[in-house]
A and B are shown apart, each in its own frame.
Chain A
Amino acid sequence: DARVTQTPRHKVTEMGQEVTMRCQPILGHNTVFWYRQTMMQGLELLAYFRNRAPLDDSGMPKDRFSAEMPDATLATLKIQPSEPRDSAVYFCASGSTGLTEAFFGQGTRLTVV
């Protein structure tokens, strides 16, 4: 049963701490997206990778956020330092070239206090 796996599912952290969220895309998928979901903004695209290379991270606050794909089976989204306004659900999705479909992970619910 192929699925996108995100860890952790929930994270509560104090303001100023570093947060790392992980995503394992579906095997064979070469595109990975990071989205953030908030009540106010809906789903926002933070970063987009194809074949592990970042193609678009314009939606990501560069001063504190970073996204990487150290290998084809792992994508990471890091926030340092975290702030209360970063509290949201962060979704990872993967797909194949041509974007015939994107599959979402179950999300990481981040709370920064």
Chain B
Amino acid sequence: ILNVEQSPQSLHVQEGDSTNFTCSFPSSNFYALHWYRWETAKSPEALFVMTLNGDEKKKGRISATLNTKEGYSYLYIKGSQPEDSATYLCAFSGGGADGLTFGKGTHLIIQP
């Protein structure tokens, strides 16, 4: 069973503040690390797919970094807005027949 951990489990942030949270995953047999954004009553939306150690990706105010050697990825949100409130999921892929293994998510609430 692959272990994908996300922390913190939930996070309250004031509007305008920046924040970050973590996904840790197995450092062996790495293939890809996915970040998804999941709003209540909607299906998860893909944010980033990261495959290379040291990779950094950015989409607007959201960015992510990847360290495959130590098995972690950070997601950063700069200048949080109320519409950023969602659950952020990471998913690890080791290739082969393992599919995607999801963490339990970080539930982010942006307070006006």
Query: Which positions in A face B, CB cutoff 8 Å?
Result: 31, 33, 35, 41-43, 45, 48, 50, 55-56, 91, 93, 99-107
Instruction: Please state if A42 and B43 are interface contacts (CB–CB under 8 Å).
Output: no
Interface size on B, residues (CB 8 A): 23
The answer to whether the Cβ of B26 comes within 8 Å of any Cβ in the partner chain is no
Q: Which of B36, B99, B103 contacts A33 (CB 8 A)?
A: B99
Query: Which positions in B face A, CB cutoff 8 Å?
Result: 31-32, 34, 36, 42-46, 49, 89, 91, 93, 95, 97-105
Instruction: Please state if A55 and B34 are interface contacts (CB–CB under 8 Å).
Output: no
Q: Which of B36, B45, B93, B99 contacts A56 (CB 8 A)?
A: B99
Residues of B within 8 A of A31 (CB): 99
Instruction: Please state if B98 and A56 are interface contacts (CB–CB under 8 Å).
Output: yes
Instruction: Please state if A45 and B99 are interface contacts (CB–CB under 8 Å).
Output: yes
Q: Which of B32, B36, B42 contacts A99 (CB 8 A)?
A: B32
Instruction: Please state if A42 and B105 are interface contacts (CB–CB under 8 Å).
Output: yes
Separation in Å of the A69 CB from the closest CB of chain B?
14
Separation in Å of the A55 CB from the closest CB of chain B?
4
- Given known contacts A45-B99, A48-B99, is B43 in contact with A101 (CB within 8 Å)? no
